[in-house]
Chains A and B, each alone.
Chain A
């Protein structure tokens, strides 16, 4: 039983399907995230597939500040992901709200709404940094991720 569980955990790390959600980013981070899919970086080497549906996803990649309008959407998407799951926040705004953190319409970073596992700083972070963050997330996923087994 334990061997099977370890086996499945290894498969988790080998097949992360990620959902990318742009909360309220300037699109700088999003462009860098999508760049990871290009032939230069080719994240599909690691089995990473970029999806649009939380019901299929293992890893939530978010960028941008949370505001009162999209905080519910963010929470909804997270709730619809089956466990185990990992959240990676990308970019200064996603980490803390960035330069917008004191704006009247900004709630703050991603972790004000849902628990974040990996923080990738930068404005925007380079694709290498994003890939690094995702791979860190994979280790968490292999270790069980969030929401138990």
Chain B
């Protein structure tokens, strides 16, 4: 068998097979563990093997087209039926209405427009698809590994019996399959089915704990994403009307008449579906609500993979709208999302919410780059996508480990975490450092983004403001992790092996990828955009150079390594120096940060971080950011109509 076909099929079918066997074998912990580990390992291997084979394109054999088409229609029907079932079960009119709209759109599409159930299009494995497959399969598998010990703890803590883990892991693996399918297929009708499947998985996973809040937030995610589904169906119809094909590349390349708006309407509608999936304003609510789910779910769906669907799909569409008004509007919407989410993150003390807003913020930056739509901007978006996925997954998993240890996800409760769980605190700190500092990948992406967006004045102003806010909320968190009381010697805490495996490989992987970033850009990412946009960056002396600037990645990495060694030496020396209590006006008792108060009583010092909630609180900002998001949404739609 052709290895290309083999690995592609493995990537798409292994998760489904894993999901099915989870339901049957998952009753016993050992069986569950074996299924998840085996599926994950297979996915990682297949993704790496696929990287070696890329790029290539597979056509669906003619004999398979009709049966596949029937399967697809059946899958669409089943998914919509499931949405209707949940809509009816929880008496949610919005979900029912939106699902019926989608169903009507699909009937029109399949029955009237295309008039054939056969599948067209094919599977395209190019650089972008490979990147996404790697992110989904490797990061996703690592998250599933960490979920194994996490869910055991979770169920023990909440006293869940009988275990609901078979269903949980089944849906998690199903989700990985849906993601790989979405990324590999190039046919809009397939994309729609996988798009809806991710919506369903996210609904099931958010509502997994079945608490009142979980169900409410899961329903919110379902109706918002159904809105995205409606936009997708309409966009698909318009795309077919404009080009007469469902193949993505074909639809983008099809000749179009002067003054025909259908094409841009289709792009705008699909773009809105992307904005919904990526939780951009005003659709941020579903992602924030999703934070009630167990943390691996947050890591898998809402940071590293599912929200990336929007970015990935818009990147696919990007060659369709360079220099258009749609691009301008998307750049505005994206940079607005970057700024607004960064501002909202400043007002949060809940660690997971900070991560959620930071995700929205970073996705906004990617959207801004895609909207600007030059070679360097798209390259920046691609780079950000990859690094953000790795680091955000790592940060979410760290917060998950912390949460199970200290039973809180509030940043204020992470004060002095270094004493309680030093290694996890250090890993979290490393994650924060890699999110905002040079020479690491995310900042490299941000550097490229600012260079690329510099001529788009409103966007660059918002990005400048948003960057400052970003530094504020990360720095505050990093400082809190290291704060007093500080224990003496370093003793790594005990955590399950799989947790260390996931955290360690993501952290080390993120650092290694950062060092290798210039070559990744040159060999891996630049060729994606080269044919249409030309090459914007060259590797010179281990750094990236463009016509307008240079970023010396390798020299700076070496400098960072030397600096780290020096600072670590200073730390080592400091552990042996004379220790004094912090300055407390001479009233310190000498035991930790407490002072001698009235009647000679020891009073513990309490200092809280600034969250500036009078300015950046959700109550204060939400109406405005939602209004802003809605205005920009009408701008996107109004501009093309």
Residues of A within 8 A of B (CB): 21, 53-55, 72-74, 76-77, 79-80
Q: Which B residues fall within an 8 A CB radius of A?
A: 580-581, 583, 585-588, 590, 596
CA distance A21 to B590 in the complex (A): 20
Contact partner, A79, options B580, B587, B596, Cβ 8 Å:
B580
Q: How far is the CA of A72 from the CA of B586 in the complex (A)?
A: 8
Q: Is the CB of A80 within 8 A of B587?
A: no
Q: Enumerate chain B residues within 8 angstroms of A53, measured Cβ to Cβ.
A: 583
Residue among B580, B581, B583, B596 making CB contact with A72, cutoff 8 Å: B596
Interchain residue pairs with CB less than 8 A apart (19) = A21-B586, A53-B583, A54-B583, A54-B586, A55-B580, A55-B583, A72-B587, A73-B585, A73-B586, A73-B587, A74-B586, A76-B586, A76-B587, A76-B588, A77-B586, A80-B580, A80-B581, A80-B583, A80-B586
8 more A-B residue pairs beyond the given contacts A72-B587, A76-B588, A80-B583, with a C-beta to C-beta distance below 8 A: A21-B586, A53-B583, A54-B586, A72-B596, A73-B585, A73-B587, A80-B580, A80-B588
Closest to B577 in A: A82
Expressed in whole angstroms, the Cα–Cα distance for A21 and B586 within the complex equals 10
CB distance from A60 to the nearest CB of B (A): 11
Top 10 nearest A-B pairs (CB, nearest first) are A73-B586, A77-B586, A76-B586, A80-B580, A55-B583, A53-B583, A76-B588, A73-B587, A80-B583, A72-B596
From DSSP, what is the main secondary structure of chain B's interface residues?
loop
Q: Which residues of B contact A55 (CB under 8 A)?
A: 580, 583
Q: What is the bound-complex CA distance between A21 and B587, given in angstroms?
A: 13
Within 8 Å CB of B580, what residues of A? 55, 79-80
Q: How far is the CA of A73 from the CA of B585 in the complex (A)?
A: 8
Instruction: Determine the chain B residues whose CB is within 8 A of the CB of A54 once the complex forms.
Output: 583, 586
Residues of chain A contacted by B583 (CB below 8 angstroms) = 53-55, 80
- Where chain A touches its partner, the secondary structure class is helix
Q: Which of A53, A54, A55, A72: most chain B Cβ within 10 A?
A: A72
**A residues near B596, Cβ cutoff 8 Å:** 72
Q: Which residues of B contact A77 (CB under 8 A)?
A: 586
Minimal Cβ-Cβ distance residue in B for A83: B578
Could you tell me the distance in whole angstroms from the C-beta of B577 to the nearest C-beta in chain A? 10
Measured between beta carbons, the chain B residues less than 8 angstroms from A80 are 580-581, 583, 586, 588
Q: How far is the CA of A79 from the CA of B583 in the complex (A)?
A: 11
Q: Which residues of A contact B587 (CB under 8 A)?
A: 72-73, 76
Distance (Å) between the CB of A113 and the closest chain B CB?
12
Q: How far is the CA of A80 from the CA of B586 in the complex (A)?
A: 8
Q: Cα distance A73–B595 when bound, in Å?
A: 10
CB closest chain-B residue, reference A76: B586
CB of A92 to closest CB in B, whole Å: 23
CA distance A72 to B581 in the complex (A): 14
Q: Which residues of B contact A74 (CB under 8 A)?
A: 586
Q: How far is the CA of A17 from the CA of B449 in the complex (A)?
A: 47
Closest to B581 in A: A80
Please give the distance in Å from B479's CB to the nearest CB on chain A.
18
A74 to B587, CA, bound (A): 9
A53–B596 CA distance with the chains assembled, in angstroms: 18
Q: For A21, what are the chain B residues with a Cβ–Cβ distance below 8 Å?
A: 586
Q: How far is the CB of B626 from chain A (nearest CB, A)?
A: 46
The residue in chain B whose Cβ has the minimal distance to the Cβ of A19 is: B586
Greatest chain A CB density within 10 A among B585, B586, B590 is at: B586
Q: Within 8 Å CB of B590, what residues of A?
A: 76
Instruction: Name B588's closest neighbour in chain A (CB-CB).
Output: A76
A residues within 8 A CB of B586? 21, 54, 73-74, 76-77, 80
A72: chain B residues within 8 A (beta carbon)? 587, 596
Rounded to whole Å, the gap between the CB of A145 and the closest CB of chain B is 16
For residue B585, which residues in chain A have a CB less than 8 angstroms away from its CB?
A: 73
B428 CB to nearest chain A CB (Å): 29
What's the Cα separation between A55 and B580 when bound, in Å? Answer: 9
Give the chain B neighbours of A79 by CB distance below 8 A: 580
Task: Give chain B nearest CB distance to A83 CB in angstroms.
Answer: 9
Closest to B580 in A: A80
